[in-house]
Amino acid sequence: MAFLIQYFYVVGACQFAMEGVHLLVTLSHGITRVWKKWLMLAIGWGLPLLISVIAIIIATDGYGPPSPLQKFCWLSFKIGTWWSMHIPIGLVQLFGIVCVIVIGVLQNRVKDSSDEEEYKTFKSNFVAFVCVLILYIVTWLFAFMELDPFKTKMPYLFLIFHALLGIVISLLYCTLNYQVRLKLKTKISPN
């Protein structure tokens, strides 16, 4: 169970990194650039599998409860398998910050070279990315603070913020997204 939890958390981080890459490609090649789906699948799903498999091969004893008396199933703090999940997530957060800085500096390029609708789409995606990045960093700060076993409130705060992160992602990327609203508008009234 700990392997699957680790895998899906790292998948979420890699998918978030792919959103940053998508914004950078949009910035450098234009809105209409077509992505290679196999590359996105390899990075978004294959890289986390590779990280998780390497971690379980190196430290099989670090997965699951260290003794039968404990009722939880998670990565071990003592052996260090906990870091096989948190290092990739920390790197994704740093990558997200770099993406925001680069995009923030170069976004005038998109504004000058595209029409109004393309710029609204890019701006909507960029604002959503920044909002999710901030909440993502705050959420995982609570996870990083779990190292101290006496801080029992941190896992609860992590879960609350992680659930909030899911709600914010669905709102920003589905409900409030400019492209989605435009597509719904054309489906509802096909004039």
Chain-centroid distance of CA 99 in Å reads: 13
Confidence (pLDDT) at 68: 58
The most confident of 83-87, 148-152, 165-169, 179-183, by mean pLDDT: 165-169
Between 150 and 2, the more confident residue is 2
According to the model, what pLDDT value does residue 78 have?
Answer: 66
Q: Is residue 69 classed as helix, strand or coil in its secondary structure?
A: coil
Q: Is the pLDDT of residue 31 over 60?
A: no
DSSP-assigned letters across all residues of 35-68: P-HHHHHIIIIIHHHHHHHHHHHH-GGGBS-SST
CA pair distance 14, 44, nearest whole angstrom: 5
What is the reported pLDDT for 49? 92
**pLDDT for position 148:** 59
187 phi/psi in degrees, rounded to 5: -75, -40
Residue range 2-188 forms a domain whose CATH class is mainly alpha
Residues 159-171: tens digit of each pLDDT: 888 888 888 888 8
Backbone angles phi and psi of 157, in degrees to 5: -65, -40
Residue 47 pLDDT greater than 80, yes or no: yes
Judged against a pLDDT cut of 60, whether residue 126 lies above it is answered with yes
pLDDT in tens, 61-84: 766 665 555 555 566 666 667 777
Residue 93 has what pLDDT? 86
More confident site: 113 or 16: 16
